[in-house]
Amino acid sequence: MIDNKRRLAKLLLEKSYREGDFVLASGRQSDYYFDCRVVALHAEGSRLIGLLFNDFLKNFDIRGVGGMTMGADPLVSAVTVTSVELGRPLHGLLVRKEAKGHGTDQFVEGLGNFGRGDSVVMLEDVVTTGSSLLKACERVRSAGLNIVAACAVLDREEGGREALEAAGCDLSALFTRRELLALAH
């Protein structure tokens, strides 16, 4: 798996990582921006993310994975598709930022593949403060599912992990900024 992780780091550094002056979704200023969607939507990048997340997920007795739309959409798809290839099918769910306002008016899509009390791991592309992931977790728990952990592509190490842990959700990440830069070089 280290070769996959090293290759993913190179793709992320080449396509998703930019240095400069940026304002993040959290409102914070940053000297770098990480747009994981570019690699998550890249054919090889998607496969690598799926394989690496599935390697992490093998330690959990879960029914599937989920995350907040739109950042987690390609992550959930990558994991579910590669999970079938690996012989351990996992289902996916997506959490809307707003209820759709028609039909069933629900926040969580894909619940038909889960039963009440099923365990899931939440996925996120980038964790800064953790607020987006916390909101997604709250909605998934309200839908009757059990969250056993969260996993991100990048933990910016800016308080998100601690906020999630305070809410009872352990966070693991494929990379921190330092790890990403070290592995890519």
pLDDT in tens, 57-87: 999 999 999 999 999 999 999 999 999 999 9
CATH topology of domain 2-184: Rossmann fold (3.40.50)
Which pLDDT does position 112 carry in this prediction?
A: 96
pLDDT > 90: what percent of the chain? Answer: 89
> Looking at the predicted structure, is the pLDDT value of residue 101 above 80?
no
Average pLDDT score over residue span 120-126: 97
Domain boundaries along the sequence of the chain = 2-184
pLDDT in tens, 46-63: 999 999 999 999 999 999
> Looking at the predicted structure, is the pLDDT value of residue 105 above 70?
no
**How high is the mean pLDDT of the chain?**
93
> Looking at the predicted structure, is the pLDDT value of residue 102 above 90?
no
Question: What predicted TM-score, i.e. pTM, was given to this entire model?
Answer: 0.94
**DSSP class per residue in the chain:** -HHHHHHHHHHHHHHTEEEEEEE-TTS-EEEEEE-THHHHTSHHHHHHHHHHHHHHHTTS--SEEEEETTTTHHHHHHHHHHHHHTT---EEEEE-SS--SSTT--SEE-GGG--TT-EEEEEEEEESSSHHHHHHHHHHHHTTPEEEEEEEEEE--SSHHHHHHHTT--EEEEEEHHHHHHHH-
Average pLDDT score over residue span 98-104: 63
pLDDT band at 129 (very low <50, low <70, confident <90, very high): very high
pLDDT band at 100 (very low <50, low <70, confident <90, very high): low
Which pLDDT does position 29 carry in this prediction?
A: 93
